[in-house]
Structure 1
Amino acid sequence: MLILLDIDGVMVPANSWKKPEFLEDGFPIFNFRSVKALQRILAATNASVVLTTSHKTKYNANEWKRILKSRGINPKKVRRLPTNSLRVSRQDEILEWYRKHPDLKEEFVIIDDDKMLSNLPENLKENLVLTSPSVGLTDDLADEAISILNKKSTHYY
């Protein structure tokens, strides 16, 4: 199982009136409620994280694992989408990732605040959990993500 995870607007609410606080590693502190929600998703699904954030290439996978762990998040594996050298939209980045994984057997959820992702093709949009940028990931949205990740095991044949 995979969580395609954005950071800004998901783990760090984007409130223009409030300057984010940073830890010693130079990255913003995550919202406590969002951390708890993501911890719950990880505990329920044992998913790996694939970072989609615009910050993804500032750190390598091991550094990201340390950043996440220092904020209370410990996925079994951390990966990131490739560098966005063409500066395409998040939607196009995710579409490209999906095209490069045609035999994807794992369930996945996309957790992001980018409203443009509502334009994804239906087969991808059904895996989207859209956060409010000023609130971030919540318990209700965590429930939705867990449901998406567990959908194969809940089908009745």
Structure 2
Amino acid sequence: MTILLDIDGVMVPASSWKRPEFLNDGFPAFSNIAVKALERIISETGASMILTTSHKSKYSISEWHEIFKLRGIKVSTIDRLSENSPELSRKEEILKWDFSKLNHKNFVIIDDDKSLNGLPVFLKDKLVLTSPLVGLTDELASQAISILIKED
């Protein structure tokens, strides 16, 4: 089971009226609600993670493990989409991703990018769309778990 995870608007809700809090590693703190929701998804499904965030190439995989660990999230495997050199949209990046690398069909896409509503049905059915101002919630975690378990 795999989570294709965005960060901004999912783990770090957007807030136009204040600057996000940054932790010692120089990366923004995650919302406590989003941390609990993601931890729930991981603990109930054992899912690994593929980062789709625009920050994905700014840090090594080991640095990403530390970022998540510092924020209280235990994930066994973290990977990321390829660097977005041609400036593709998130939708185009996901469509370009080689899903055969997952070796299974049980994955979920958690993102706040509304352009993902234009994904083909077989991918849109795997989408959990967050509100960028709220981020990942327990209710959305339940949807993600249902998507992952349905395909198991």
Query: Which stretches of structure 1, 4 residues or more, deviate above 4 A after TM superposition?
Result: none
Instruction: Specify every segment of 5 or more residues in structure 2 that has no aligned partner in the other structure, as ranges.
Output: none
Return the offset for 1:152: 2.6
Does the aligned pair in 1 maintain the 2:105–2:151 contact within 8 Å? no
Q: Cα deviation per residue 1:31-81 (whole Å; 9 max; x = unaligned)?
A: 000000000000000000100000000001111011001101111100011
Matches for 1:1-40 after TM superposition, within 5 Å: 1-40=1-40
The alignment of Structure 1 onto Structure 2 pairs a total of residues equal to 152
Return the offset for 1:127: 0.2
Matches for 1:6-155 after TM superposition, within 5 Å: 6-98=6-98, 101=100, 104-153=103-152
RMSD: 1.2
| Sequence identity percentage | 60
Distance 2:144 2:74 in 1: 17
Aligned pair in 2 of structure 1 residues 46, 103: CA closer, same or farther (>3 Å)?
A: closer
Return the letter of the residue paired with 1:123: F
Does the aligned pair in 1 maintain the 2:49–2:78 contact within 8 Å? yes
Aligned pair in 2 of structure 1 residues 18, 90: CA closer, same or farther (>3 Å)?
A: same
Distance 1:143 1:71 in 2: 21
Return the letter of the residue paired with 2:92: D
Aligned pair in 2 of structure 1 residues 34, 103: CA closer, same or farther (>3 Å)?
A: closer
Distance 1:76 1:103 in 2: 15
Return the letter of the residue paired with 1:66: E
What SS class does the counterpart of residue 97 from structure 2 fall into? helix
Does the aligned pair in 1 maintain the 2:8–2:132 contact within 8 Å? yes
TM-score, with structure 2 as normaliser:
0.97
Aligned pair in 2 of structure 1 residues 104, 133: CA closer, same or farther (>3 Å)?
A: same
Distance 2:151 2:36 in 1: 25
Does the aligned pair in 2 maintain the 1:12–1:29 contact within 8 Å? yes
Distance 2:140 2:148 in 1: 12
